[in-house]
Structures are given as structure tokens and as C-alpha cells.
């Protein structure tokens, strides 16, 4: 039945490339199915959309700060002096058919690209998909997020309108606060004083060549590693650490993932057609002496903006130098520290737990309460800074005092994450308890039975074997044991202090987590239930519907 020979064009390729060898392994490669696995896909597809629409824009955009007098069809700015960059952006918007559409799709896709990467990162974090052997892929993914944010910000600066120029002025001010090298960095980046006439052409090259090239290379490695490691899967019946259960790449995922690309492209195109974004023609050309009230960067810069906004104004002057703590701390220390912590998280957690095994089964967030709490703390910190980036809008929209909003946030960024950690961790632990209840006592049926002695009990139905297995298919977590202080010969173990710290962290990491029941406990619970008539299969006549009708 199977063909021994390829059709001629495929044979031509196989003779030269050996495609059968590669295809044999991968054509029917299995991918597991879950909605949360499409987040990374959205990021990938928006990146492709960005490249396609970006190429279109480069055909008309003039990356030059040379001054011209605008003579295009937007009458409100006619005759104004502006840079060629801004004038050509107006031309794309008003004189190139489909130009505004492409600009808006490009901007929406950029916003979506970064949002999808972030949510994808959160999915990976909360399910523990970053654990061995995927730590390096986490770092690669993180690097892409970092590059994506820079790429987005630089792209935002290219049209040279009033808003983008203000954003650059702020960045320039932050760079200038770097001790020792700040002023020099600025003069080299901007070709002298701000604004100068160099940055648009320089940023353009970085925006269309350097960073996209890097991201493209990293995407390739990222996807190669996904194929090599094979996709992680959620625990469930038949799903083990040694297999991957799902649908084949060809044809199911070819159709699903390929189709999903068009869905994402379609939605961004509709957004580009119907939802206005960054109307640069309203802002006018950049003028270093003007600014609009309520200036806002794109959403992903909001947390940096907030960090800078809520910092009190401290500055030191000594020995003829100035140290601007009001910028060094919120712009040059906290954000890098935050992102470094995120980038290194897999290694930190791996060290604390001492877990060196490969993991291919995903954690349910509740089963790792401390990690989930840490994630919540990070999100809260980020979100509070992000809110800080709009403190003026919050004040005006809700009729609050700007100063009070700012003061609230100054404290909240410290207290909020701690609270979030504690609350979320406790919630996760409660959910673990609920799982154990479900396992040991079954499902509450709502059927209340009165015994001859007059005792009321609720009948419990056992959960299915498949569900019971899914609920228990995770590791039993115990803190790291660092062994005795001294060995049999009385020799002290090496690096004792470090290991003690590690053991303490590990105890903290697993403290209070609920262990799944043992075989024995489970049997005992079921035994007890049968004795006390607690667990019951619902009989033919006892349905959930009857219960409700009984009550009414």
C-alpha cells in the first residue's frame, strides 16, 4: 500500500536534502492539547505579522531627521516644519492607501506581541514548565521578551512626533543619570545634545535589522528546543513523564496552528481597521519645548514610568558630582534587578529544591503554593508600578488627589507583594485541601438522607478513577535534607552555612503544603466512608435534578 517512490518534485528535493529523514521523525510528531499552550503561538504569530507589516512600512518611511516643510494632504499640519521621519509617517497615514491600516496593524501587533510573551511567561512560570531540562529555553524566551520591549519602545520613537519625542527625552534623562558614563552615553547615542538629528536613522537600523534579527535567531532556537524536548503536558490518565499524549503535527496541528495564525492575523487586521492607535497626526511634530498633558507610553513601558513617578526626589551632591537617586534607584537599579530575578528564577528554585530530575509533567499552580505565591507577589509588584505609570489618569478619572495616589503607591509597592504572596499561597494550600477532600470523601451529591435514628447525612459519590488519578499525579514534596553536621568520621560537611541557608529556604518553600494522601490513607478514608454510609454511588432514581426539586 505504501509508496516506495516519491513523486518527482519531492524526489528531487530528497535527493539533495534528504527530507525523508527529517520528515519521518517530525511529520507525525505529537503535541499535547491545552488552551494555555497557544499563548506562545500568539507571540510567534504577532512577530510574523510585525515583520510583514514592518516591511510594508519601510517602503515609504524615511528614517531621517532632515527638516522639511509638510505639503501632504493632511491640511492641519500643512506648511509646518518637521522632520522627514514625521512627514513620511503622515504620508503613510494619509497618502498611501492601506498605509494607516498597516501602521495600525503594526502597532497593535507590537502591543499584542509583548502581552502574549508576558502571559506565556506567566503560564510557564505557574506550571513549572521552566524546570529541567527547559531552564535555558526560559532564559531564551525571557531574552526575547526583553528585546521585544526595547524593540517596541524604539519603534515608538521613530515617527518623531511630539509624544514619541517626549518618551525619548525621558529615556535620555534616565540614561544621563547613570553615574560616570551617563553624559557620554547620551552624547554617543544621540550624536551630541538632545534631540540632535541622528537618533531616528540610528534607531531605525536597530529597529528593522539588529533586534528583529536577534529575535528571529532566538525564536528559531526556542522552537528547536520545544521540538527537541517535546512539549510538556498536564498530568492525567496515561500521561506520564515518559511520554507525550496528544495529536499529530500533520494533519491536526498543521490545520489548528496554521489556522490559528490566520485567526491572529485576522484579529489584528480588524483591530488595525477599526480601532485607532497612536494617532501621531494629532500630536504634531516633536518640539522640545512642548508636551501634552496625560502623556502615556505604550502599556509595556508603564511599570518603568510608574517606578520613576512614585520615587521621591532624592539627590546627592558631593565632590563636584551629582548622584540622582530619584532616577538611579527606580530606573537603573530596580528594573534590572527585577528582570534578573525573573530570568534566573529556574536556577534559584532548582537550587532551593535540590531537584535535579527532568520534568515533563506540568504542575498545577495549587500544588506549588510557594511558587504560586511568589508569582503573585511579582505580578502585584509589577501591577502596582504599572498603576503608578498612570497616577495622573487615576487621579483625574476618580477625582482623587494625585499626591495621595502617589503616596499610597509608595507604600503599596512594598506591602502589596507581601500580602499577595501570603494570600495566594494560603488559597493554593486550601485548594490542595479541597482536592484531598474530593479524593478521600468523594463528590458532594446534595442528596440528604435521614437515617432511622433521625440522623441526617449527605451522600457522597466517588469521583471517577481518571479524575482521582489526575488529582494525585504529582510529586510528594519534602524539603531538602542536607544530611548530618558531621560525617561518620567527625569531619564537618563542606559549605555548611550555605547549605543550612539552602535547607531553610527549602523548608520555607515546602512549608504548609498539603501532601496528597497515601494509599493507606485513601483506603482508610474509603473504608470509613462505607462504614458510615458516606460514599454512595447514586442509584438510578437519585439524580441531582431530583435533589433540587425535593428542596423546592
Q: Taking the complex as a whole, how short is the minimal distance between the CB of residue 46 and another protein, in angstroms?
A: 13
Task: Report, in Å, the least distance between residue 96 CB and another protein.
Answer: 9
> What does the alpha-carbon distance between residue 189 and residue 196 come to, in Å, rounded to a whole number?
10
Give the cell for residue 453.
435514628
Identity of the residue, 87 or 177, whose beta carbon is nearer to another protein in the bound complex:
177
Query: How far is CA 465 from its chain centroid?
Result: 34
Residue 147 or 468 having the CB closest to another protein: 468
Shortest CB 238 distance to another protein, Å = 3
Joined together, the cell numbers standing for residue 308 give: 520613576
Q: How far is the CB of 255 from another protein (least distance, A)?
A: 4
For another protein, the closer CB: 14 or 521? 521
Please say which residue, 214 or 410, places its beta carbon nearer to another protein: 410
The distance of closest approach from Cβ of residue 319 to another protein in the complex, given in angstroms and rounded to an integer, is 9
Q: Residue 153 and residue 148: Cα distance in Å, rounded?
A: 9
**Can you read off the three cell numbers belonging to residue 150?**
526595547
Contacts for 426 with CB less than 8 Å, ≥ 6 apart: 369
Please say which residue, 127 or 376, places its beta carbon nearer to another protein: 127
Shortest distance, CB of residue 256 to another protein, whole angstroms? 5
**Residue owning grid cell 524615511:** 62
Cα first-last separation, the chain? 64
C-alpha–C-alpha distance, residues 160 and 168, integer Å: 9
255 exposure class (CB count in 10 Å sphere: 0-12, 13-18, 19+): exposed
Whose CA is closest to 106, among 258, 272, 297, 321? 272
CB of 79 to another protein, least distance (A): 14
The number of angstroms, rounded, from the C-alpha of 227 to the middle of its chain's C-alpha atoms is 21
Four-residue CA torsion sign, 397, 399, 400, 402: positive
CB of 142 to another protein, least distance (A): 20
SS3 152: helix
Q: Which is nearer to another protein, 266 or 336 (CB)?
A: 266
H or E element in which residue 413 lies = helix 402-441
Closest CA to 353 of 363, 65, 532, 322: 363
8 A C-beta contact, residue 513 and residue 369? yes
CB of 448 to another protein, least distance (A): 29
**From the CB of 502, what's the least distance to another protein, in Å?**
10
For residue 88 the three cell numbers come to: 513620511
Residue 449 C-beta: closest distance to another protein, Å = 27
Residue 126 or 281 having the CB closest to another protein: 281
Looking at the Cβ atoms of 193 and 531, the one nearer to another protein is 193
- Computed over its alpha carbons, how large is the radius of gyration of the chain? 30
Nearer to another protein, 218 or 393 (CB): 393
Nearer residue to another protein within complex by CB, 118 or 406: 406
Strand residues in 406-546 grouped as ranges (E)? 443-450, 456-461
Peptide bond preceding 195: is omega within 30 degrees of 0, i.e. cis? yes
Nearer residue to another protein within complex by CB, 171 or 372 = 171
Element (H, E) at 503: helix 496-510
Spatial contact of 330 and 311, defined as CB atoms under 8 Å apart? yes
Amino acid at each position: 500500500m505504501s509508496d516506495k517512490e516519491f513523486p518527482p518534485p519531492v524526489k528531487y528535493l530528497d535527493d539533495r536534502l534528504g527530507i525523508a529523514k527529517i520528515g519521518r521523525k517530525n511529520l507525525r510528531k505529537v503535541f499535547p492539547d491545552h488552551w494555555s499552550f497557544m499563548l506562545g503561538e500568539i507571540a510567534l504569530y504577532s512577530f510574523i505579522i510585525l515583520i510583514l507589516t514592518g516591511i510594508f512600512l519601510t517602503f515609504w518611511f524615511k528614517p531621517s531627521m532632515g527638516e522639511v516643510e509638510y505639503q501632504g494632504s493632511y491640511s492641519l499640519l500643512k506648511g509646518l516644519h518637521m522632520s522627514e521621519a514625521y512627514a513620511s509617517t503622515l504620508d503613510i497615514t494619509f497618502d498611501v492607501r492601506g498605509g494607516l491600516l498597516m501602521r495600525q496593524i503594526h502597532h497593535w501587533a507590537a502591543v499584542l506581541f509583548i502581552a502574549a510573551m508576558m502571559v506565556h511567561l506567566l503560564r510557564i512560570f505557574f506550571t513549572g514548565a521552566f524546570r529541567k531540562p527547559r531552564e535555558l529555553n526560559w532564559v531564551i524566551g525571557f531574552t526575547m521578551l526583553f528585546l521585544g520591549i526595547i524593540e517596541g519602545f524604539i519603534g515608538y520613537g521613530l515617527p518623531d512626533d511630539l509624544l514619541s519625542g517626549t518618551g525619548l527625552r525621558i529615556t535620555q534623562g534616565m540614561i544621563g543619570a547613570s553615574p560616570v558614563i551617563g553624559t557620554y552615553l547620551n552624547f554617543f547615542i544621540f550624536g551630541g545634545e538632545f534631540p540632535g538629528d541622528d537618533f531616528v536613522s540610528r534607531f531605525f537600523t536597530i529597529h528593522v535589522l539588529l533586534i528583529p534579527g536577534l529575535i528571529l535567531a532566538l525564536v528559531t532556537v526556542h522552537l528547536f528546543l520545544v521540538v527537541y524536548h517535546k512539549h510538556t503536558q498536564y498530568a492525567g490518565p496515561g500521561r506520564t513523564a515518559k511520554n507525550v499524549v496528544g495529536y499529530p503535527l500533520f494533519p491536526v496541528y498543521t490545520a489548528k496552528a496554521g489556522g490559528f495564525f490566520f485567526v491572529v492575523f485576522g484579529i489584528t487586521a480588524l483591530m488595525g481597521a477599526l480601532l485607532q492607535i497612536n494617532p501621531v497626526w494629532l500630536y504634531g511634530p516633536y518640539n522640545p519645548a512642548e508636551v501634552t498633558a496625560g502623556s502615556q507610553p505604550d502599556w509595556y513601558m508603564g511599570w518603568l514610568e510608574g517606578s520613576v513617578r512614585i520615587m521621591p526626589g532624592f539627590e546627592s551632591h558631593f565632590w563636584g558630582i551629582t548622584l540622582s537617586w530619584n532616577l538611579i534607584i527606580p530606573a537603573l537599579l530596580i528594573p534590572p534587578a527585577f528582570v534578573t530575578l525573573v530570568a534566573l528564577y529556574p536556577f534559584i528554585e532548582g537550587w532551593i529544591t535540590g531537584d535535579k530530575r527532568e520534568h515533563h509533567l506540568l504542575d498545577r499552580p495549587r500544588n506549588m503554593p510557594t511558587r504560586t505565591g511568589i508569582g503573585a507577589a511579582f505580578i502585584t509588584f509589577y501591577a502596582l508600578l504599572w498603576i503608578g505609570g498612570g497616577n495622573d489618569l487615576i487621579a483625574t478619572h476618580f477625582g482623587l488627589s494625585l499626591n495621595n495616589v502617589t503616596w499610597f503607591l509608595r507604600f503599596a509597592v512594598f506591602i502589596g507583594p507581601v500580602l499577595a504572596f501570603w494570600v495566594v499561597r494560603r488559597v493554593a494550600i486550601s485548594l490542595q485541601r479541597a482536592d484531598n477532600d474530593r479524593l478521600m470523601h468523594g463528590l458532594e451529591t446534595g442528596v440528604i438522607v435521614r437515617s432511622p435514628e433521625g440522623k441526617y447525612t449527605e451522600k457522597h459519590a466517588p469521583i471517577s478513577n481518571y479524575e482521582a488519578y489526575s488529582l494525585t499525579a504529582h510529586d510528594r514534596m519534602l524539603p531538602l535534607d542536607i544530611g548530618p553536621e558531621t560525617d561518620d568520621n567527625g569531619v564537618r560537611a563542606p559549605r555548611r552555612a550555605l547549605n543550612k541557608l539552602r535547607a531553610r529556604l527549602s523548608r520555607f518553600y515546602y512549608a504548609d503544603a498539603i501532601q496528597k494522601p497515601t494509599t493507606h490513607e485513601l483506603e482508610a478514608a474509603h473504608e470509613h466512608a462505607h462504614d458510615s454510609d458516606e460514599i454512595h454511588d447514586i442509584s438510578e432514581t437519585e439524580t441531582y435534578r431530583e435533589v433540587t426539586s425535593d428542596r423546592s
